[in-house]
Chain A
Amino acid sequence: MAPRQIQPPEPLPAQDDRLAPQDAFQWARDAMTARQWDAAARRWATLRAVYPNHAPVWIQAAVAYKQLGRHDDAAALLDEARRRFPSHAGGWVQGANVALARGDHGEAARLLAEARCRFPDDPPVWLRSAGLALADGDPDAALVFNRHVREAFPDDPGGLAQYAELAMEAGDWEEALTRWARVRERFPNLPAGYRRAADAEERLGRPREARRLRLAEEHGTDWLAELDAAAPPPVAPPRRRDGRNFIDLVLTKARLNLKSEANRNHLRYLWWVLDPLLYMAVFYVVFGLLLHRGGEGFVAYLLTGLVPFQWFAKTIQHASNTIVEGRGLMNQVRISPLFFPLVAVAQNAGKQTLVFLMLAVFLVVYGLPPTPHWLALAPVVALQLAFMVVVGCALAMLIPFVRDLLNLVPTGLQFLLFCSGVFYTLDTIPERWRDLFLANPMANLLHQYRRILLDHQWPDWSQLGWLALGCALGLVAVLLAYRRLEGVFPRVVIE
Chain B
Amino acid sequence: MTAPVVISARELGVRYKRRGGIFRPTRYHQAFQDVSFDLHEGETLALVGRNGAGKSSLLKVLAGILRPDQGTLVNHGVSVSLLTLQAGFDGELPGTDNAVLSAMLLGYTRKQARASLERVADFSELGEFMHEPVKTYSAGMRARLGFAVAMFLSPGVLLIDEALSVGDRHFRRKAELEMTRKIHSRQTVVLVSHSEEQVKKLADRVIDLDRKGGSYVV
A→B interface (CB under 8 Å): 207-208, 211-212, 214-215, 219, 223, 226-227, 231-232, 234-241, 245, 248-249, 252-253, 256-257, 259-261, 263-264, 329-335, 486-488, 490-491, 495
Q: Which residues of B contact A223 (CB under 8 A)?
A: 177, 181
Q: Assess A241 versus B107: contact at CB under 8 Å? Given A212-B184, A227-B181, A235-B116.
A: yes
Q: Are B177 and A239 in contact (CB under 8 A)?
A: no
Q: Are A248 and B109 in contact (CB under 8 A)?
A: yes
A334 touches which of B64, B108, B177 (Cβ 8 Å): B64
B90 at the interface (CB under 8 A from A): yes
CB-based A-B contact count at 8 angstroms: 127
Name the interface residues of B147-190: CB closer than 8 Å to any CB of A: 152-156, 177, 180-181, 184-185
B201 touches which of A211, A226, A333 (Cβ 8 Å): A211
Q: Are B204 and A219 in contact (CB under 8 A)?
A: no
Q: Assess A239 versus B78: contact at CB under 8 Å? Given A329-B105, A331-B60, A332-B87.
A: yes
CA distance A227 to B178 in the complex (A): 11
Task: Say whether chain A's binding surface is mostly helix, strand, loop, or mixed.
Answer: helix
Q: Are A495 and B16 in contact (CB under 8 A)?
A: yes
B207 at the interface (CB under 8 A from A): no
Q: Which residues of A contact B104 (CB under 8 A)?
A: 245, 248-249, 252
A329 touches which of B42, B88, B109 (Cβ 8 Å): B88
CA distance A253 to B104 in the complex (A): 9
Q: Which residues of A contact B152 (CB under 8 A)?
A: 234-235
Q: Which residues of B contact A235 (CB under 8 A)?
A: 108, 112, 115-116, 152, 154
Q: Which residues of B contact A248 (CB under 8 A)?
A: 104, 109-110
Q: Are B87 and A236 in contact (CB under 8 A)?
A: no
Q: Assess A215 versus B65: contact at CB under 8 Å? Given A208-B204, A238-B109.
A: no
B83-109 Cβ-contact flags toward A at 8 Å (1 or 0)? 010011010110001001100111111
B63 at the interface (CB under 8 A from A): yes
B82 touches which of A208, A259, A332 (Cβ 8 Å): A332
Closest chain B CB from A427 CB (angstroms): 46
CA distance A226 to B174 in the complex (A): 14
Most buried by A among B67, B133, B201: B67
Q: Are B65 and A237 in contact (CB under 8 A)?
A: no
B126 at the interface (CB under 8 A from A): no
Q: Which residues of A contact B16 (CB under 8 A)?
A: 491, 495
Q: Assess A331 versus B65: contact at CB under 8 Å? Given A211-B184, A211-B201, A240-B79.
A: yes
B107 touches which of A214, A237, A329, A491 (Cβ 8 Å): A237
A333 touches which of B77, B87, B109 (Cβ 8 Å): B87
What is the chain B residue whose CB lies nearest that of A492?
Answer: B17
Q: Which residues of A contact B17 (CB under 8 A)?
A: 491, 495
Q: Which residues of A contact B124 (CB under 8 A)?
A: none
Further contacts, 8 of them, CB under 8 A, given A223-B181, A252-B110: A211-B202, A227-B184, A237-B107, A252-B100, A263-B133, A264-B92, A491-B16, A495-B17
Q: Which residues of A contact B105 (CB under 8 A)?
A: 249, 329, 333, 335
Q: Which residues of A contact B202 (CB under 8 A)?
A: 211
Q: Are A333 and B154 in contact (CB under 8 A)?
A: no
Q: Are B63 and A334 in contact (CB under 8 A)?
A: yes
CA distance A248 to B184 in the complex (A): 34
Q: Are A333 and B107 in contact (CB under 8 A)?
A: yes
A260 touches which of B90, B112, B185 (Cβ 8 Å): B90
Closest chain B CB from A98 CB (angstroms): 38
CA distance A226 to B80 in the complex (A): 26
Q: Are A490 and B60 in contact (CB under 8 A)?
A: yes
B81 at the interface (CB under 8 A from A): yes
What is the chain B residue whose CB lies nearest that of A216?
Answer: B184
Q: Are B79 and A238 in contact (CB under 8 A)?
A: yes
Closest chain B CB from A56 CB (angstroms): 37
Closest chain A CB from B77 CB (angstroms): 7
Most buried by B among A226, A237, A256: A237
CA distance A239 to B64 in the complex (A): 12
Q: Which residues of B contact A335 (CB under 8 A)?
A: 105
Q: Which residues of B contact A227 (CB under 8 A)?
A: 181, 184-185
Name the interface residues of B57-85: CB closer than 8 Å to any CB of A: 60, 63-67, 77-82, 84
Please name 5 pairs of A and B residues whose Cβ atoms are closer than 8 Å in the assembled complex, sorted by A.
A235-B108, A248-B109, A261-B92, A263-B93, A333-B106
Q: Which residues of A contact B133 (CB under 8 A)?
A: 263
Q: Which residues of A contact B60 (CB under 8 A)?
A: 331, 490
Closest chain B CB from A27 CB (angstroms): 33
Q: Are B97 and A259 in contact (CB under 8 A)?
A: yes
Q: Which residues of A contact B107 (CB under 8 A)?
A: 237-238, 241, 333-334
Q: Are A234 and B180 in contact (CB under 8 A)?
A: no
Q: Which residues of B contact A264 (CB under 8 A)?
A: 92
Q: Which residues of A contact B108 (CB under 8 A)?
A: 235, 237
What is the chain B residue whose CB lies nearest that of A491?
Answer: B66
Q: Which residues of B contact A260 (CB under 8 A)?
A: 90, 92-93
Closest chain A CB from B91 CB (angstroms): 8
What is the chain A residue whose CB lies nearest that of B14?
Answer: A491
Q: Are B201 and A214 in contact (CB under 8 A)?
A: yes
Q: Assess A215 versus B180: contact at CB under 8 Å? Given A256-B101, A490-B60, A490-B66.
A: yes
B1-19 Cβ-contact flags toward A at 8 Å (1 or 0)? 0000000000000001100
B112 touches which of A237, A333, A488 (Cβ 8 Å): A237
Closest chain A CB from B114 CB (angstroms): 11
CA distance A231 to B186 in the complex (A): 12
Closest chain B CB from A48 CB (angstroms): 42
Q: Which residues of A contact B88 (CB under 8 A)?
A: 253, 329, 332-333
Closest chain A CB from B195 CB (angstroms): 14
Closest chain B CB from A399 CB (angstroms): 16
CA distance A248 to B60 in the complex (A): 25
Closest chain B CB from A169 CB (angstroms): 28
